[in-house]
Amino acid sequence: LGEVRESQIVFKAPHPMNLVAPHLMVELRSAGYIEVCADLDDRDADFLDKVDEFIMERFRAEKVEDHEEFCDRYYKAADGVFMGSGASLDNNFGLLVTDVCDRIAAFKGWSLVACNGGNYGQSSEHQEEQLVFRRDEHPLGDATYLMIVINQRGDVEVNGKPIR
């Protein structure tokens, strides 16, 4: 197994205006790291700072410096925030992912447009998720998100806020 992993996310912009809309990608890794990449305009000048506040509070995270070549913000979550391992029933990764989705989509005009996730590590003990958001003023942008995880043992995990 090598040291370098690569992941791509492909999504389409259904309307030409979405090609110029601001985007944000958040990558969560259960090993305790969070990466944020943004393509924002002047209207969203303070948006990255609001995302920053959320990540630092929810994940009790600290900024990691000197990663500007490949991302806008990089964080190390506090010990104990990510619990369990990739396939264990006691892990909270899905819950943390839905928390991020719900919080960022709660910002006016922002919605989730693509996500990709998987396990990595010698025995698939870690999880990662890439989430791409766009400020597209989608009419259902304030709806909460639900994440269902089915593992190879047949365990089913449902994460998200109750809506009724």
pLDDT digits (tens, 9 = 90+) for 48-89: 999 999 999 999 999 999 888 889 999 999 999 999 876 677
pLDDT digits (tens, 9 = 90+) for 5-37: 555 555 555 666 556 788 899 999 999 999 999
Give how far the C-alpha of residue 86 lies from the chain's centroid of Cα atoms, to the nearest Å: 16
What pLDDT is recorded for position 9? Answer: 59
| Lowest mean pLDDT across 98-112, 119-133, 135-149 | 135-149
Q: What percent of the chain has pLDDT over 70?
A: 76
What pLDDT is recorded for position 1? Answer: 44
What pLDDT is recorded for position 5? Answer: 54
What pLDDT is recorded for position 123? Answer: 78
Separation in Å, CA 148 to CA 11, 83, 93, 161: 20, 18, 11, 12
**Predicted confidence (pLDDT) at residue 139 exceeds the cutoff of 70:** no
Q: What is the mean pLDDT of residues 96-123?
A: 88
* Confidence class for position 2, pLDDT limits 50, 70, 90: very low
| Lowest mean pLDDT across 4-18, 124-138, 147-161 | 4-18
Residue 164, number of CB atoms within 10 A of its CB: 2
**Predicted confidence (pLDDT) at residue 128 exceeds the cutoff of 70:** yes
As a whole number of angstroms, the distance between CA 69 and CA 92 comes to 30
